Amino acid sequence: MPTVIEAQLRIPGGKNVNRRIRKSGKIPAVIYGPGKQPVVVSVDPGVVKTILHSESGRNTIFAISVDGSEQNNAMVKDYQLDPVHGDLIHTDFLEIAMDRLLVLTVNIETVGEPEGVKLDGGIMDIVTRSIEVECLPADIPESIKVDVTHLKINDYIRVKNLQTDAKVKILTDPEVVVVTIVPPIKEEVPVEAVVETAEPEVIKKGKTAEEGAEEEKPKGSKPESK
């Protein structure tokens, strides 16, 4: 039996109105639907958190009813958390039709321990953690599993290598890398600095005028006339 969210109509307002709604134990929300005007409501945040923390998370399909009206299938379109305390403070819902295709994001789930990690000490790098798909609401996968046990050092898996149900169409670029195994990080050995000893400079001491030495005059030179 799907989860049911009981919503109550509210009068649109600013921060003060929304603050009063939260003090009453509810949070403001908006319901969107194809061909419909958005409906502003208030809901129990506990039910929404249960949906978000489930295995299918935001891709969970549930029923929503406004003031006891007919229930409609819906999904969480977006939500907002308090930046300080992390509490859920606002959410948007999207009404869906079970016979209409949806475009949504699905998480990647790795299965197994890569050979390159287990035997060679490599590191598994999950490059892409989710991809975009198109399918009917009833065919939404909880996650897309990828077997990584055969991967060795420098091996990788691209989006085009993923296996999905025929009812699920992958929209993400097929060449995008999903997961790869990188070589282990080698510890750098500190290189001791080589101190070069400079050779002492040899200073040749020559005769200077101050030491009383006279410059040798060339032979044949005449004495200076007085």
Mean pLDDT of the 60-88 span: 94
Spatial distance between the Cα atoms of 18 and 27, rounded to a whole number of angstroms: 7
Mean pLDDT of 126-130: 97
Helical (H) or strand (E) element with 91: strand 88-95
Residue 205 resides in a domain: no
**pTM for the full predicted model:** 0.71
Q: How many domains does the chain have?
A: 2
Q: Which tens digits make up the pLDDT trace of 2-29?
A: 789 999 999 887 888 888 999 999 999 9
Q: What is the CATH number of the domain that holds 153?
A: 2.170.120.20
**Model pLDDT, residue 196:** 54
Domain co-membership, 83 together with 135 = no
Look at residue 145 and tell me if it is in a domain.
yes
Q: Which of 146, 163, 182 is the last residue of a domain?
A: 182
Look up the domain containing 44 and give its range: 4-95
pLDDT at 13: 78
- How confident is the model over 37-50, as a mean pLDDT? 95
The pLDDT value given to residue 152 = 97
Domain shared by 8 and 68, yes or no: yes
Domain boundary among 62, 95, 128: 95
3-class SS letters over 151-182: CCCCCEEEHHHCCCCCCCEECCCCCCEEEEEE
Looking at 38, 71, 95, which one is the last position of a domain? 95
